[in-house]
Structure 1
């Protein structure tokens, strides 16, 4: 081995290397570096020149925190009129004690801008509430209309059923009394489709001659019920033929379906 080549296992070479042992020494160096960085930041903050707005704000806050001295002309005039420090304004001393606080505007809005924004926000909120109320009312009305429509359809089906029952009863009772022709065509149920076609032809002929008023199922039921009760003393809801009118009036609840519920 030549003299120029270094022996990597010699003590001279190892002493030149830095201590890079993991553990406590490395953590200590990191903490020291962080402390130096924090101190440098604090030093930079202290040496930094404050802006005009910062100086103005600090001066204002300092002035507001300190009480008015006797050197103030306004305060001196108040003292001449009998005012004492810490006393309320007015003859009875019941007025304001502290000075009126300052409200510094930090935005670029003009005078009254905040009130206008507040009023506009309240108007928008009220408009939104009106829309919600109108929507709720429309939904409630739609639901009520639906229920009314369903109730009407159910009542119409019930009326149609009662009418058919009355027509069958009328045909049977008329036949028992020897009546071969109904008082009106619709007093008896239609026998078959041919008779319905004949009836339609007759109705068309009558409509050509004169205008005929069309009766509703409810009107037909009322007329036919009155006929059954007056001629046959029969009630379709009781399902009973009474002896006479007195027996009918005494024992039948009434002449409508609602009376029998």
Structure 2
């Protein structure tokens, strides 16, 4: 017996005598708890009451709800522990469903391997309303892009046309002055019987009605006389305001009033300028290129003068002139 007991008792190594510090459990101190003072207890209860009574702002609540909703939508119900024990999943498993695989035959590459995603609607639009809005928005963007391109083309064309019309108007004014000057020179020659040149008086008014002036440069004459009339009226108004009030003597005659500057100013041909001129309006309604061509043709036929060459030819053949238009002289 003693031998068997001595054999059963195994020799203990020095390592077994050492404590196993990795598996030691440190006991919590069992000393008496420090009692709260009245002030500490009151502060603790106040903090707990404030925490219970705190209400999150609306924006924070909505953010928390959105985060919780997104987290729930991202989790698969098939992997949830409670779903593993559901009768529905067990029935689908018996029908051949395996989580992560599609339903039906396995050779269908387009088969859906996960349920249809949930789309949360935050408005009152019906099903398909978002797609319709996207389609309309896309059409509006395409239409706006086409309109911008069309507007750019129309703008360039309009600017080019306005510049060309402005250039032609300047040429028309020059051609009108040339035609008026040549007509005046011809009238002077006829009135003097072909004698010496008699320069016209500067600033002399016309001696015939405005409607008898040639329609080709009548607009130039009308505009010049209107400007002259307005200038004289402004000058006379300034002079009348600068004069001191004088005594109105009944014994003064016309010569005295004229000498004292009391004679009322009479403007000649004012009524002529105020009258309507349908013929001039019809001529001005023509395109600038057509009006210019009419004046150019008149100068060639009446005076053998080429407006583009700036030269008066000796006869009507006008030998050496390239042509009738500006392009012919380029």
- Give the TM-score, by structure 2 length: 0.40
Q: RCO greater where, 1 or 2, for CA within 8 Å and sep 6 or more?
A: 2
Instruction: Calculate the TM-score normalised by the size of structure 1.
Output: 0.48
